[in-house]
Amino acid sequence: MNLLALDLGSTTGYAILHNDNICSGTRNFKQVRLANGGLRFLQFRNWLIDVIQKYEIENVFYEDVKRHLGTDAAHVYGGYLSHLAVVCEEFQIPYMGLPVGAIKKAAAGKGNATKDEMISAAEAKGFKPCDHNEADALAILLLAIRKLNMELKGKATCK
């Protein structure tokens, strides 16, 4: 089964399980100065469709954030989440949000793990995340694999 895990945001972390290989990284969708406000969401949507098609994604998991530190962050997250939902519906791909605390607890042993602790937890599993967004995506993917009762045969990673 091919899975996609996402830590949604202006810098989106992603982790992909494809043919027992894990690929991960980040993608920057930050607002470009003087660009229209919807451009970031169009870029996210196009990237998401490319990933779904290239890796033959069958299930998508994302971090289900219920609390944001600011109004702008909440609006941006909602924009990415709405495009994720629409694309998954268009491609008839199941998608599921996983609670932040459950992701952190599964990865780092406590539901309020810091960004540095999430990076350390990913490194302890043999990954080399570039930042906390990628570390979170890897944690989401590993939790999704566990929830689906899948066995991870290989540990090969790519960028």
108-144 tens-digit pLDDT: 999 999 999 999 999 999 999 999 999 999 999 999 9
pLDDT at 39: 86
pLDDT at 121: 96
Name the residue among 96, 85, 95 with its Cα closest to residue 41. 85
Average pLDDT value over all residues in the chain: 91
The amino acid at 104: K
Domains and CATH numbers, the chain: 3-158 (3.30.420.10)
Using CA atoms, how far residue 29 sits from 26, 111, 130, 143, 158, in Å, is 10, 27, 16, 25, 21
